[in-house]
Structure 1
Amino acid sequence: MLKVPQYVDKITPYVPGKPIEELERELGISGSVKLASNENPLGPSPLAIDEIAKHTGTLHRYPDGGAYALRSALAKVHGVDIEEVIVGQGSNELIDIAIRAFQTPGDETIMGSPSFVVYYISSAKSGGLPVQVPLTKDYRLDLKGMADKITSKTKIICIANPNNPTGTIVTKDELGQFFAGLPDNILVIMDEAYYEYAADSASYPDSMDYFRDGKDILILRTFSKAYGLAGLRIGYGIANKTITGAMNKIREPFNTSTLAQMAAIAALKDVQHVRRAVEINARGMAWLHKELKALGIDFVPSHTNFIYMDLKKNAMEIYNRLLKLGMIIRPMGLADTTTIRVTIGLPPENEEFIRTLKEVL
């Protein structure tokens, strides 16, 4: 019988948020609300939708395997060389490519815990040694603790800023101190999937400063969140040519579709749409904070489009009861956890979440 490698056998697969269609099919209900996957409830820019329609007649052709037009647009926006830009199926794929490119079996990849689970999976599945560092008491990445874990085997450090699932950030000063003491030959993956929601914070660092200083940094951003293109799976990275060159050597050909590339180019142009999405999110966040305080529920102040909260009750039980009422949220951690993560929706969706939460509590 075929034997699965031990390092693969130990991996717990990534479990995505439950699709609305699946829930409604199972329970025979309609009108469900999904606040589980940190999607933009406003949807994509009308410019992106129009661009998709323009290119449906070319679907019998392979996409541009190098995504030249999209990379050119991104290079112009960020003031970098086109060879310093790489695109992928969301930032997820680029995390995986980077870890496979620079981590060999037995090497260590350092990450926070809890943080984005893909770091652990990508490191473990290639025979690496994921090193998880607990968050601080205020649910933020412990950069000092992560630096203390560096050994001769350390090849990669993953920093989610803002962090998923807690929504917290590391500050300019903290990141500066971290890089000042960082040894050479370690790749820092700055995962900024929620960048647009955090960028206006006075204490949020500009990771491009470290790129310009020549650090071995891979900055990752995505069109899945604030740009509302999650269903097209498109994200990008910025790094020096040594890093992008190595990643391109193992990147799958045609890894992003024509429609995804064209929609992303159009979405980049619609600055007003992204600004509106961020503003709607901020208002929804403030309203939910007020309601959660009234219910006496502990939550972590967030720089993203989701809230991490502690119900002080079995989260899986609450999750399953909410499902029966057509409300999809995200329980966090193991079966006995008490924490959940809830995406900020449009006002009626936020109101429905509070109503159903009150009912099950």
Structure 2
Amino acid sequence: MSQPAPQSAAPAMDQARVDQARVVEAGFDEAWFAARAQPGVQRLKAYDPGHDLVALRRRYGEANLVELGSNENPYGPSPAARAAILDSLHALHRYPDPLGGDLKRALARKHGVDVKQILLGNGSHELLMQLGQVFAGPGQEVVFSRYGFAVFALATQAAGAAMRIVDALPREAAMPCGHDLDAIAAAVSADTKLVYVANPNNPTGTWFGRDALVAFLDKIPPQVIVVMDEAYAEMAEAPDYASALSVLDRYPNVAVTRTFSKAYGLAGLRVGYLIAQAGLIAVMDRLRESFNVNGPALAACEAALGDEQHLRWACARNAEQRAALSDALSARGLRAFPSQTNFVLAEFGARTPQVEAALVERGVILRPMGGYGLADCIRISVGSPDENRRLLAALDEVLA
């Protein structure tokens, strides 16, 4: 009995070639690849640094540029940290400690926690993103405040979760644009998996005290993880301020992120850490990239922790210059928001874009706030006395 002749695959192959030709003709552009990305990634926008600082340094020369847009410590790191980096260079051919053991032990001693409660990250940015990946996903919600740190939204969208953004306090409030903790707690639903809160907050500089912290955490269900981002905690000197580290034993659903980029003056090394219950850290560690903190960074951060005197000195200088800068801005008829960080949010009104652009032309780089929904404000990092003088001189020219 004769068998039917097999069908030719030629038509299918010809159609595949046609489809491929169309793709090549259209170009493998961003839209083509975005259509193939995960839904959460499709909604993301790349992080906006505000300015191309490398290009501006080349244009003006580093000595002539006043960089006050990235909340860096103008006094730099501890000399001990610099020495530790140099001492570590002989081992660049070796992988760093994948556990970060020495640095974790130093952090555990400083904060009075167990080593198993600490996770290291490539800056706190990486840890905030991973918290979203681990504990949130499609069909779930993440709650945070308007004008909160930009990474909260990035982490939520990347995880494919829904953002529930709570309005901040009005500008007429005692803490203008600060967190409305009661409203954040009220926004938590059965679908909420994470709550992100920054204290003190970037970009507003605002903060809340221990009583408010405890009252807020009392309202959050224990199954909801509360991430307290405390990147600027070392600089907070307000009598009522208290770190969430002080209540970890009382609230096991709280996780605290910190960084070496701000007060410790090590932004170029990108090291952050997370402190939480050992069980949470163990689950997070499953996602951690191997060797995510490099060897010189581990050595420098451990050395910086041992130089408490330099940290106190840098924070004291920052507090002095923050107060002086706020007063100088107020004297020029500008509104300076209250701050417990190393920056001041200043309100310039409708002329904000023109003022910011004119300052850039004078080699003074600040941080525009349009991406945060604060288009009439500029965030000004607290610089050294000389940097602040140069800023104010340029600002006087522009305002005149």
Which range, TM-score by smaller chain?
A: over 0.9
Match of 2:127 in 1: 94
Deviation at 1:233, TM superposition (A): 0.2
For the pair 1:170 / 2:208, whether they are aligned, the reply is: yes
Deviation at 1:183, TM superposition (A): 0.9
Per-residue deviation, residues 190-230 of structure 1 (Å, max 9, x unmatched): 100000111x3221123123211242111111110000000
Q: Which runs of 5+ in 2 are unaligned?
A: 1-31, 171-175
* 1:48-197 aligned within 5 A: 48-137=81-170, 138-197=176-235
Question: Retained in 2: the 8 A contact 1:27–1:324?
Answer: no
Match of 2:394 in 1: 356
Question: Retained in 2: the 8 A contact 1:300–1:309?
Answer: yes
Aligned CA distance change for structure 1 residues 338 and 64 (closer, same or farther; 3 Å): same
Letter in 1 for 2:185: A
Match of 1:253 in 2: 290
State how far apart, in whole Å, the 2-side matches of 1:122 and 1:206 are. 23
* 1:164-243 aligned within 5 A: 164-198=202-236, 200-243=237-280
State how far apart, in whole Å, the 2-side matches of 1:212 and 1:6 are. 37
State how far apart, in whole Å, the 1-side matches of 2:164 and 2:352 are. 26
What secondary structure is seen at the aligned counterpart in 2 of 1:21?
helix
Deviation at 1:24, TM superposition (A): 3.4
Letter in 2 for 1:296: G
Aligned CA distance change for structure 1 residues 72 and 210 (closer, same or farther; 3 Å): same
State how far apart, in whole Å, the 1-side matches of 2:70 and 2:62 are. 20
For the pair 1:313 / 2:346, whether they are aligned, the reply is: no
Letter in 2 for 1:339: C
Deviation at 1:304, TM superposition (A): 0.5
State how far apart, in whole Å, the 2-side matches of 1:293 and 1:349 are. 18
Deviation at 1:245, TM superposition (A): 0.7
State how far apart, in whole Å, the 2-side matches of 1:93 and 1:282 are. 28
State how far apart, in whole Å, the 2-side matches of 1:215 and 1:135 are. 26
Question: Retained in 1: the 8 A contact 2:39–2:160?
Answer: no
State how far apart, in whole Å, the 1-side matches of 2:308 and 2:300 are. 14
Per-residue deviation, residues 276-295 of structure 1 (Å, max 9, x unmatched): 11111111112112211110
Per-residue deviation, residues 64-113 of structure 1 (Å, max 9, x unmatched): 11101100111111111111011111111111111111112221111111
State how far apart, in whole Å, the 2-side matches of 1:163 and 1:24 are. 28
Q: Which runs of 5+ in 1 are unaligned?
A: none
Deviation at 1:41, TM superposition (A): 0.2
TM-score scaled by length of structure 2: 0.87
State how far apart, in whole Å, the 1-side matches of 2:344 and 2:312 are. 20
State how far apart, in whole Å, the 1-side matches of 2:387 and 2:341 are. 17
What secondary structure is seen at the aligned counterpart in 1 of 2:58?
helix
State how far apart, in whole Å, the 2-side matches of 1:51 and 1:294 are. 43
Deviation at 1:333, TM superposition (A): 1.9
Aligned CA distance change for structure 1 residues 260 and 28 (closer, same or farther; 3 Å): closer
Deviation at 1:12, TM superposition (A): 2.3
**RMSD of aligned Cα (Å):** 1.6
Match of 2:380 in 1: 342
State how far apart, in whole Å, the 2-side matches of 1:86 and 1:160 are. 19
What secondary structure is seen at the aligned counterpart in 2 of 1:114?
coil
State how far apart, in whole Å, the 2-side matches of 1:109 and 1:209 are. 24
Deviation at 1:10, TM superposition (A): 2.5
Question: Retained in 2: the 8 A contact 1:29–1:326?
Answer: no
State how far apart, in whole Å, the 2-side matches of 1:228 and 1:65 are. 23
Question: Retained in 1: the 8 A contact 2:225–2:254?
Answer: yes
Runs of 4+ in 1 over 6 A off after TM superposition: none
Deviation at 1:316, TM superposition (A): 2.7
TM-score scaled by length of structure 1: 0.96
How many residue pairs get aligned? The number is 360
Deviation at 1:115, TM superposition (A): 1.1
Question: Retained in 1: the 8 A contact 2:217–2:251?
Answer: no
